[in-house]
Chains A and B, each alone.
Chain A
Amino acid sequence: MRESHIMNIHYLTGLAAIVLVGIHIMFRLIMPFAQSLEYENIIANYQNLPYAIVLELILLTVAIHGFNGLRIILIEWRQGEHWEKGVTWTCVAAAIAIIAYGSRTIIMANMAGAA
């Protein structure tokens, strides 16, 4: 993939993350903060399907934006074919791992009340 395409993805995921994280924060502020963190409230949030989709989208956009940002920093810091390939594949693997782990939480919390 061309670096200019990757930068466009970086910008789009950044803008999307601003909107989505804004929604996520508003869900914590519609009631007193400590109350919003109670287990029952959090599980109710996860069982709200549109909100669960927002959480999954935050996971995807922030993971892609964050690990691509880290890749850019590491490639700016040091160059070389092996280094660049190693950094790129490590960042891709780390992003996939964190998306998988976060998705597992969203799915399990979503099903928690159904059990």
Chain B
Amino acid sequence: MQKENREGVKGWLNPTRYGLSRFAYWLQRLTGVGLLAYFIAHIIETSSLAEGKFAWEAMLDLTQTPGGHIILIIVIGMSAFHAANGVRLYITEGGRGVGRPGRPDYPYRPTSLGPRMRACIWVTVALAALAMIYGANVLFGE
């Protein structure tokens, strides 16, 4: 491959010309990195428990704000999508739901992305949206 054709992270992040499976691939990685960042932040946040009640309450003042709740709602959506899409990936890795191999004919639709698999991806997105609505209701409904 010629060097000028390499797009690096920009190519990796560009989901527009790859279809639905590439969109799911991209979102799985993006949510994975986001969740790892939240996990590290959560470990640091909860470490204030070891410093006593005042340190914990000072940390809550910092995190239990409308902005903190919005971040938490995004984290809930990322968790739901990453988990549901991860389970879908386990299933496809086992060879289920990916269709039979066939001769590539125009317009080159991948057999691995049949209607059921497409529906699965949209179900994962819907689950994430529902989880975010539920999270928003818990966090802002009190």
Contact = CB atoms under 8 A, between A and B. Distances in A.
Interface of A: 11, 14-15, 18, 21, 29, 32-34, 37, 39, 42-43, 46, 59, 62-63, 66-67, 69-70, 73, 76-77, 98, 101-102, 104-105, 108-109, 112
B60 interface: yes
A70 B33 contact: yes
Given A39-B53, A112-B49, A66 B39 contact: yes
Interface string B37-66: 001100100110110110011001000100
Contacts of A76: 12
Contacts of A33: 138-139, 142
B15 interface: no
A115 to B, nearest CB: 10
A21 B53 contact: no
Contact of B60 (A14, A37, A59): A37
Interface string B11-40: 010000000000000000100110110011
B90 A11 contact: yes
Question: Across chains A and B, which 5 residue pairs bring their CB atoms closest together, nearest first?
Answer: A108-B50, A66-B36, A39-B53, A109-B49, A102-B43
